[in-house]
């Protein structure tokens, strides 16, 4: 090997190759691979090569010249080819972004994902790609962004994620506005006292005192209002006092919410007081699991549609992102190994056990009964398998 991915020269960019077509994209990818220490990397020029666009004695690469984001099925197809040529590095080059499930799969299997721009420059999109390019991981607050590309809506959502449900919003400071509204202004002082305890500002203490007095006054007016047995105001005095109490409560709620809106942002964006920041990798895992759950539901309700979409068979190339499922009754060993990220020997053992069973498993437990697997591999198969 004449050079490696760790050479100092790797910090330098190879000659720029403008991207005007898919052929340019493939040539550019081969140029970069030679620069990274794969001197025999060459464009395959099509043919029956399993979708491989650039080939080296030590690496395989696929290149996409599309505007759509690359999904997990594309990477699984590359992984399936790679399973037949063990030991080779797997590279994927795209002029667009990658879906969350694609990133999860790449990080689990070690596929190096790259983004290229029209000027031929290259950026890493996965941990393996950063290793190849000798680029350190981005700071967490810059995750999923690159200096030369505008962030997509999905990337922005990964950086600044709004709380997912009302419980999360409540914990993230939503209670600052909820308490005055739900208490009809009576406890509007509570968030002001909380803010004062955090920021120690005299004006917040003054507001807290004022709203405490207002809350007591509202309760007092409601308390002295003459009422009948059903709780309705009695007579002219009762009507007037109730009106005063209602108007006072509305004024307190409105003014308190206006003031608390900005105070809430300040409190819950201060270091140490904000809600825990979203973890992009954890979000990817959750999204992939959600996709698998949806695909499994479709598999159970409409098996014909599921098979037509290629659920559990990424090698069919139907384009449906099932989050990473594999049909253990029909998938070849290479696909099982790729999807479940297990040793090809184990995948071949699963296929052999399937043949002994007459070509059909009726439950995942049958697979696990026939083959001795480690707990981690067993868990991965349970997570990915459909039958």
Does residue 3 lie within any of the structural domains?
Answer: no
Question: For residue range 313-354, what is the model confidence (pLDDT) as tens digits?
Answer: 988 877 788 888 999 889 998 888 888 888 888 888 888 888
DSSP bridge pairs for 91: 61, 112
**Domain total for the chain?**
3
Q: What percent of the chain has pLDDT over 70?
A: 80
Q: Is the pLDDT of residue 220 over 70?
A: yes
pTM over cut 0.75: no
The residue-averaged pLDDT of 255-277 equals: 68
Identify the pLDDT of residue 2.
40
Give me the CATH number covering residue 68: 3.40.1350
Kind plus residue range of the DSSP H or E element containing 242:
helix 235-267
Q: Is residue 272 part of a domain?
A: no
Question: 267, 288, 311 — which closes off a domain?
Answer: 267
- What region, left, alpha or beta, does residue 76 occupy, with left being phi > 0 and alpha being psi -120 to 50 degrees? alpha
pLDDT recorded at residue 210: 92
Q: Which domain holds residue 375?
A: 280-386
Q: Sort 91 into a burial class: Cβ within 10 Å, 0-12 / 13-18 / 19+.
A: buried
Please report which confidence band the pLDDT of residue 279 belongs to, taking 50, 70 and 90 as the band edges. Answer: low
Mean pLDDT, rounded, for 7-35: 75
Q: What is the pLDDT of residues 143-168, one digit of tens each?
A: 433 333 333 333 333 334 444 455 66
Mean pLDDT across 232-247: 85
Which of residues 113, 136, 159 is at a domain's end?
Answer: 159
């Amino acid at each position: 090997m004449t050079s490696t991915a760790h050479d100092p020269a790797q910090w330098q960019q190879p000659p720029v190759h403008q991207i005007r077509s898919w052929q340019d994209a493939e040539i550019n990818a081969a140029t970069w691979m030679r620069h990274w220490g794969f001197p025999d990397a060459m464009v395959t020029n099509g043919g029956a090569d399993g979708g491989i666009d650039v080939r080296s004695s030590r690496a395989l690469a696929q290149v996409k010249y599309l505007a759509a984001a690359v999904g997990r099925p594309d990477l699984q197809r590359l992984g399936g080819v790679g399973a037949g040529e063990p030991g080779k590095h797997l590279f994927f080059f795209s002029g667009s972004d990658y879906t969350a499930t694609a990133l999860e799969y790449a990080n689990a299997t070690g596929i190096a994902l790259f983004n290229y721009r029209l000027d031929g420059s290259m950026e890493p999109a996965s941990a393996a790609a950063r290793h190849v390019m000798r680029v350190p991981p981005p700071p967490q607050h810059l995750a999923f962004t690159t200096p030369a590309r505008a962030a997509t809506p999905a990337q922005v959502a990964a950086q600044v994620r709004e709380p997912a449900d009302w419980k999360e919003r409540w914990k993230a400071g939503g209670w600052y506005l909820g308490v005055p509204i739900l208490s009809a202004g009576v406890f509007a002082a509570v968030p002001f006292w909380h803010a004062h305890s955090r920021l120690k500002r005299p004006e917040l203490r003054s507001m807290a005192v004022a709203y405490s007095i207002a809350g007591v006054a509202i309760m007092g007016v409601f308390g002295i209002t003459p009422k009948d047995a059903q709780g309705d105001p009695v007579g002219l005095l009762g009507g007037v006092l109730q009106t005063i109490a209602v108007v006072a409560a509305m004024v307190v709620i409105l003014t308190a919410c206006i003031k608390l809106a900005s105070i809430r942002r300040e409190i819950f964006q201060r270091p140490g007081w904000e809600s825990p920041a979203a973890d992009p990798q954890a979000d990817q895992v959750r999204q992939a699991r959600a996709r698998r759950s949806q695909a499994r539901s479709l598999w159970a309700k409409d098996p014909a549609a599921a098979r037509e979409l290629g659920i559990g068979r990424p090698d069919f190339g139907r384009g449906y992102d099932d989050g990473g499922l594999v049909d253990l009754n029909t998938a070849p060993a290479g696909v099982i190994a790729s999807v479940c990220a297990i040793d090809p020997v184990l995948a071949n053992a699963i296929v052999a056990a399937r043949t002994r069973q007459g070509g059909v498993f009726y439950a995942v437990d049958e697979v696990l009964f026939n083959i001795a697997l480690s707990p981690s591999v067993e868990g991965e198969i349970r997570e990915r398998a459909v039958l």
